[in-house]
Every structure is written in C-alpha cells, then in structure tokens.
Amino acid sequence: MLSDFLNIVNTPEYNDFSTLFFGIIIEALPFVLLGVLVSILVGLYVDTKVVFKYLPKNRILSHIILSLLGVFMPVCECGNVPVLRRLLSKGFSVSHAVTFLLAAPILNPITAWSTYEAFKDIAPEVIWIRLLAAFIIANLVGLIISTFKDQESLLTPAFYEEVCAHDHSHEQSKFAQAVDIFQTEFVEVMKMMVLGAFIAASIQIFVPRDVILEIGSNPVLSIISMLVLAFVVSICANVDAFFALSYSAIFSIGSLVSFLVFGPMIDIKILTMLKTTFKMRFLIELSILIAFLSFVTGLIVNLFI
Amino acid sequence: MFERVANLTISTVFIGAAAFLVYSGYLNLFVHPRYFLFTQAFVYTAFVFSLTGLVYTLISSKGQDYKHLLSSFNWRYYSFAILPMLLVSIFGFIHEFNPLTSATLSQRVAEVNFIQGSSDLDVFELFKRPSEDLGLQEWVFLIQSQPDLESFVGDKVILEGFIYADEAMLEDRFLLSKFVISCCTVDARPLGLEVEAEDWDRDYGLDQWVRVEGVYRYDDESEELYIDPINIEKIDIPDDPYIY
C-alpha cells in the first residue's frame, strides 16, 4: 500500500500535477485577495442609495456603465467573483452584476496593455476587436438576463439567504464588518477555486494538447478548438494574450480572438467559483450563450477582417 | 459565530501555507517574477489580517454558550469547504515542489518552440554575441529567424536544460528542454534543441538536468539542426528552472 503510494508520488505526472495545481492557486490567490479587499471596501463604504441615484434609469445605459467599471479595477476574473457577490449583496440586479463580471477582466487597462504588447506587431487589429467584442457580448448577455422577470431565482438558495441577511447589517465596528466579509467571501470563493484548480491541473496532465490542437488549421474548427482550450487552461485574463500569441503560427486570427474573449468570461476555474452564487442550470446556459457569441465573433473575424 | 471561527481558522491556515511557500522561495516554480511583489504583499498582509480577525473573533465571543453553538454547526456543509482547503494547506507545508518535467512536455509536445513573435529578442543583436553565450530561447529564436540553417553548422553552444525524448524522435537523440512562462505554470510552453549522443539513455534518464557543450551539425535527411555534444554534464535543478 505504502509502496504503491510512493510509486505514484515519484512519477513525473504526480510532480507536474502538484506544480500545476499549486501554480494555479498561487497565481490566483493575490487576485482573489484583491477582489475580497474591493468587496470589503464596497461593503463598508459604497452607499447603494447614492449609486442607484446616479445610475441611469435607462436599461442599456446602466449596463454600459457597469461594463466599464473594470477600467477602475484591473483585476483578473478570479478577483471579480467576490466583487460580483458583493454587488449582488448590495442590491444590484443579476444582469448588472453579470455584465460587470464578463466585461471587467477584458475592459481594463492591464488586459488592454498586455494584448497590445502581445499583438502589436503581428495582428494589431486583435486589440480593438477583443475590447469591442467583450463590450458587446457583456452588454448583450446582461440585457438578455435583464428581460428575466425573477432574476433572484437564478441565485442559489444559500446565496439568496446570504443576500437577504446582508440587508439587516447589524451595528458592528468597521473592523468586525471587514472580518465578517473577509471570512465569508474568502472561504466561499477559495473552496471552489481549489476544486477548479484540481480539475484544470488534472486535464493539463492527462489530456494531450494535440488532441485539441489537431483541428487548428480549419477556419471553423480552429475556433471551437481554441474555445475548448480557453475553457480548459483557465488562464488569467491579464496575460492570456501572450499565451494566445504562441498559437498565432498555426491558428486563425478569429480563433485567437475567440480564445481571448471567451477565456476571461468562462472557464473551469470561474465556473466552479460562480457555483457558490448561481444555480448550475443558469451557469450552463450562460456558458453556452457566451461560447456561441465568442464563436460568432471569431467567425466574423475569419471571414470578413 | 462558530462558522465564523471555522472560516477564519481555515483562512488563516490556508493563507499561512501560501505565505510559507512564498517565504520558502518556491514562488519561482509557480509564477513569473513580475508577480513576486504583488503576491508577497497580498499573501503576507492577508495572513496578518486573517490571524488578527481570528483572535479578535475569539476574544469577542468569550462567554458564549459553545455547546449550543457547536450543536447548530452545519458540519456536512463546512467539511466540504474546509476539508479540501485544509488538505491543500497541509500539502503546501510538507510537499517538496519541483519544476515541470517531461510529463507536461509530452502533453504539449505539439507546441515545442512556438515562440513566434512572442519574444523581444533582436536577431541582429544576437548575431553579434559569442555563440556560446546564447541561451536556449535565444537559439530557438535565432534558428527560426534564419532560413539558412547550415550557416549555424560549427557554432559552439553551451546550454542547460532537462532531457526529454519520445518515440517520434530519432534514435540516439534527445531534446534539451526548458519551459517558457508568461504568467504561471499553466501557460508554460516548451522549448528545446535536439542533441545527438549515442546511447545517451545509458547514462542519463528523462528529466535529468544537464549542461551540454557542443557544436551544431546539420542533418540532410531531416533538414534539421542538432547539437553534436563535446561534453554532457549532469547538473542540479537550477534555482531558475524556467525562461521568463
């Protein structure tokens, strides 16, 4: 029994699994903590009444404003999950919070800069197409969700209970409130992050990349291939452009755009983290919708640009 | 109250394990150096905050009826959250981590030397430097940018990396390899140059780190460059095993 265990522990597969698994966690951890910090600041200092007073009543305009919040918060997608949860706790609708979640990892200065650095020489059009596509998809998805009459039904019962509990904030010191937000958000997000990292690292070790990349030269299949890759690798939005760039020799530009738009919005890691907040059925529908819109974006680029 | 203490305890242990890894110098095995300061700042600060929050909560809960709190604690729900995080924390404290190896390279072998346009290297500047001073990434870049591969024949190289080989490679050849990292290990891309050494596998295994000193030869059949080694020396895993 012990020798069997030691045999596994001494394999390169086990070594690489542990390095990849901890690589994902260590890379994401400061972003999650930054997200929790923003969540604490929003929880303590943002007066929802004031925000709603200045937020335009027009449905389209209000979603556009939420989609541009990432400009002030250049955090990758893992960090935005705690912020999304805090926005919902503060009374923002699911459609507003999801619009923020989808747009912020891409429509922020760091991602824009890294995309520029990566693609400025070989395909500069990727930069503006990525930003524009993220803006359109995030707002479109948000507007579609805003047509749902009962948006709260998309939340898990546990989170919905939590949202209601936040409405009765008791008279605690600021520090006690900050600790309260910290412990809830951190554990809620990290427990799923651990699961997401486990799945992502396992796939990286046990599924050969050439299975995904073999169809890379076909203008349609290459987009699907890159969408699958984005979903599997769960790479941080701030640097995914450099990753995508390494595929530019064999993959169509449209497929790279699809990768850059879809990856920051939906991947294994994010889905497991969002499971703390939304019902699974909604997450599946959301993923399919975003995958479809990212696919269409890639196809338009391949055919017309 | 009990949930709060449980959450803060596991948060402190989890972030403590991450702080331990950061303090122990393991960061370069996981992330690009540009994230070092950011990671250190957040992990250390969060550890102090979480620990302070735990102490504060314990002090402020003094005098509470623990028996009652314990009986209302949702063990099943919290074990789902706490057990995996606790296991990961313990693992972080006791495991000895090593860089990525042939296991990852074999999954990404279709991507070996995909560095087109991803490097800031200047071909003209590289040509001016003595050939033995160039590193693995610089050689791969130079070879990809030069159509006439035979012009490199006879150039001397001194390179370090780990050994990779698979059935698709010619007999007596191995790939002297390293990974390039843009962000973290997830995006690691393999680089490598082939070395031809008869019966190399008698003396060296897969994943063995070596320093190879040799010259380039051109294989007319496969139309590829390979390194003809003068000397192959086993080395320890370097402090910086990746190319950033």
Per-residue pLDDT reduced to its tens digit, A138-196: 999 999 999 998 898 999 988 888 777 655 555 678 899 899 889 888 887 788 778 87
B53: left (phi over 0), alpha (psi -120 to 50) or beta: alpha
Best B27, B40, B181, B186 member to test A by mutation, with max A CBs in 10 Å, is: B186
Residue B115 three-state SS: coil
Q: By the 8 A CB rule, do A35 and A105 touch? A: no
Alpha-carbon torsion, ordered B178, B185, B42, B91, to 10 deg: -110
DSSP for chain A reads: -HHHHHHHHTSHHHHHHHHHHHHHHHHHHHHHHHHHHHHHHHHHH--HHHHHHHS-SSHHHHHHHHHTGGGG----HHHHHHHHHHHHHTT--HHHHHHHHHHTTTSSHHHHHHHHHHHTTT-THHHHHHHHHHHHHHHHHHHHHHT-S-GGGGB-HHHHHHHHHHTT-----HHHHHHHHHHHHHHHHHHHHHHHHHHHHHHHHHS-HHHHHTTTTSTTHHHHHHHHHHHHH---TTTHHHHHHTTTTTS-HHHHHHHHHHHHH--HHHHHHHTTTB-HHHHHHHHHHHHHHHHHHHHHHHHH-
| Contacting residues of B for A19, CB less than 8 Å apart | 29-30, 97-100, 185
Q: What is the pLDDT of residue B47?
A: 96
Asked if the model's pLDDT at residue B218 lies above 80, the reply is yes
What pTM was estimated for this model as a whole? 0.78
Nearest Cα residue to B142 out of B185, B106, B104, B113: B113
- Interaxial angle between packed helices B2-23 and A174-206, expressed in degrees from 0 to 180 and rounded to the nearest 10: 60
Record: contact B116-A122, CB cut-off 8 A:
yes
Examine the predicted complex and report whether its ipTM is higher than 0.85. yes
**What's the whole-number mean pLDDT along residues A105-133?**
87
* pLDDT of amino acid A71: 81
B105 and A CB contact within 8 Å:
no
pLDDT digits (tens, 9 = 90+) for B176-207: 999 998 878 888 889 999 999 998 989 999 99
Tens digits of residue pLDDT in A264-290: 999 888 888 898 899 999 999 999 999
The pLDDT score that the predictor gives to residue B52 is: 96
- The tens digit of pLDDT for each residue in A40-67 reads 887 788 777 777 778 888 999 999 999 9
Angstrom distance (rounded) from CA A270 to CA A84? 12
pLDDT for B221: 84
Q: How far apart are CA B91 and CA A17, in angstroms?
A: 13
Q: For position A120, what pLDDT does the model report?
A: 79
CA distances (Å), A191 to each of A26, A273, B84, in order?
14, 8, 7
Maximum mean pLDDT: which of A21-35, A213-227, A271-285: A271-285
**CB-CB neighbours of A136 under 10 Å:** 15
Interval A83-101 mean pLDDT: 90
Angle at A95 between CA A89 and CA A97, to 5 degrees: 45
In the predicted model, what is the mean pLDDT of chain A? 84
Instruction: Kindly list the residues from chain A whose CB atom is less than 8 angstroms away from the CB atom of residue B116.
Output: 122, 245-246, 248-249
Look up residue B44 and give its two tokens.
């250390």
Q: Do B85 and A176 touch (CB under 8 A)?
A: no
In terms of pLDDT, which residue wins out, A2 or B161? Answer: B161
User: Nearest-CA residue of chain B relative to A243?
Assistant: B187
Separation of alpha carbons B65 and A121, rounded Å: 66
- The vertex-A190 CA angle with A275 and A148, nearest 5°, equals 25
- Tokens 């907040």: give the residue: A277
DSSP-derived pairing of the beta strands B156-164 and B189-196 = unpaired
Residue A3's pLDDT is what? Answer: 63
Q: What is the pLDDT of residues B94-123, one digit of tens each?
A: 888 999 999 999 888 878 887 655 556 677
Q: What pLDDT is recorded for position A27?
A: 84
Q: Which tens digit of pLDDT belongs to each residue from B18-33?
A: 999 999 988 999 988 9
What is d(CA B239, CA B97) in angstroms, rounded to the nearest whole number? 12
- R_g of chain A, CA atoms, integer Å: 20
Kindly indicate the confidence band of residue B69, based on its pLDDT and cuts at 50, 70 and 90.
low
> What is the pLDDT confidence band of residue B70, given thresholds at 50, 70 and 90?
low
Task: Kindly report the length of chain A.
Answer: 305
Work out how many CB contacts closer than 8 A connect A with B. Answer: 182
CA distance B93 to chain A (A): 12
pLDDT: which is higher, A248 or B161: B161
Enumerate helices (H) and strands (E) in chain B, giving the number of each.
Answer: 9, 5
Residue range B116-142: average pLDDT?
78
Task: Pick from A24-33, A220-229, B12-21 the range whose average pLDDT is largest.
Answer: B12-21
* Phi, psi (rounded to 5 degrees) for A100: -60, -50
Alpha-carbon dihedral A116, A274, B31, B243, rounded to 10 degrees: -50
pLDDT at A12 over 60: yes
Question: If contacts are CB pairs under 8 Å, which of residues 110-139 in chain B contact chain A?
Answer: 110-111, 114-118
Helix runs in B95-237, H state only:
102-107, 123-128, 136-145, 200-203
In this structure, the number of other CB atoms found within 10 A of the CB of residue A187 comes to 23
In chain A, positions 159-218, which contact chain B (CB-CB < 8 Å)?
A: 175-176, 178-180, 182-184, 186-188, 190-191, 194-195, 200, 204-210, 213-214
- Axis crossing angle, helix A253-265 with helix A280-304, rounded to the nearest 10: 160
Between CA B212 and CA B75 the distance in angstroms is 57
* pLDDT value, residue A4: 67
What pLDDT does residue B157 have?
93
Q: Are A302 and A294 in contact (CB under 8 A)?
A: no
In a 3-state reduction of DSSP, which class is residue B197?
Answer: coil
